[in-house]
């Protein structure tokens, strides 16, 4: 990731646009990151990844809930279900 310093307040917009075409750019003021600028395609890629993660999280919760219901229907206790769902199970 490229870094541009704005300590002098002189970052040229065209320079920033050109840099962002190839990679995200961190803008610094007084040595501290104050912004990260992304190309539209990079932003869309990150948005898509976030959407996929959110959907996977929903599906995982639904699966866990379903296995819990099935476990109760089959007579497993809460403790038995938790043991089976744990990493050590």
For residue range 52-77, list pLDDT tens digits in order: 999 999 999 999 899 888 888 889 88
**Model pTM score:** 0.67
Is residue 27 within 8 A of residue 37, CB to CB? The reply is yes
C-alpha–C-alpha distance, residues 16 and 29, integer Å: 15
Regarding predicted confidence, which is higher, 47 or 77? 47
């Amino acid at each position: 990731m490229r870094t541009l310093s704005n300590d002098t307040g002189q970052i040229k917009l065209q320079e920033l646009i050109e840099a962002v075409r190839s990679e995200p750019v961190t803008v610094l003021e007084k040595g501290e990151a104050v912004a990260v600028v992304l190309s539209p395609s990079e932003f869309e890629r990150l948005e898509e990844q976030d959407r996929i993660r959110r959907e996977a999280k929903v599906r995982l919760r639904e699966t866990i809930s379903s296995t819990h219901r099935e476990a109760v229907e089959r007579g497993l206790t809460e403790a038995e279900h938790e043991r089976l769902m744990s990493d050590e199970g």
